[in-house]
Amino acid sequence: MFHNGIEYAIMQAYGEGYELLEAKDLITDVPAVFAGWQRGTVVRSWLLDLMVLALNEDPKLDELEGYVEDSGEGRWTLEEGIELAVPMPALSASIFARFVSRQGSASPTMKAVAALRNQFGGHAVKKS
């Protein structure tokens, strides 16, 4: 359960990084930037590898809607944090971002999070 809570926050961070890079007109190849992070950076991880796979399949994530479900583990982790008075702002923000994604937004961040969930767990995604 705690592992999944950490995972939520990491996926959200990668998603936000994706959106920021896409918005910056100085960056011309966002998938290449993510691929470059796989070699010798502090953010390398299996989730990063999966993000690179998702971007190789759909570089602009055009095939996905920015709609992200949650399967409950993040909620359970957050509930434990509340019960034990442990602040968890990164996890809570990532959960609430998922709720926002269900309100009809076309957020690049949430498209990236949806792509990551699909890559590592085969979780369903909504196609555009």
On whether the CB atoms of residues 62 and 31 are closer than 8 A, the answer is: no
Can you give the residue range of the structural domain that contains 105? 2-121
Q: Does residue 128 form part of some domain? A: no
Task: Kindly state whether residue 24 falls inside one of the protein's structural domains.
Answer: yes
Instruction: Give the number of domains in the chain.
Output: 1
- Conformation bin of residue 40: beta by default, left when phi > 0, alpha when psi is -120 to 50: left
Q: What is the pLDDT of residues 19-48, one digit of tens each?
A: 999 999 999 999 999 999 999 899 999 999
Q: What pLDDT digit, counting tens, does each position of 45-69 carry?
A: 999 999 999 999 999 999 998 888 8
Write the CATH number for 108.
1.10.1040.10
Question: Rounded to whole angstroms, what are the CA distances from 103 to 65, 66, 68, 106, 108?
Answer: 11, 10, 10, 9, 14
In a domain, 126, yes or no: no
Torsion of CA 3, 6, 10, 16, to 10 degrees: 140
Residue 92 lies in a domain: yes
* Residue 19 maps to a domain: yes
Query: Is the residue at 69 inside a domain?
Result: yes
Q: Token digits for 8?
A: 């939520």
Q: Is residue 73 part of a domain?
A: yes
- Global pTM reads 0.83
Domain-located, residue 28? yes
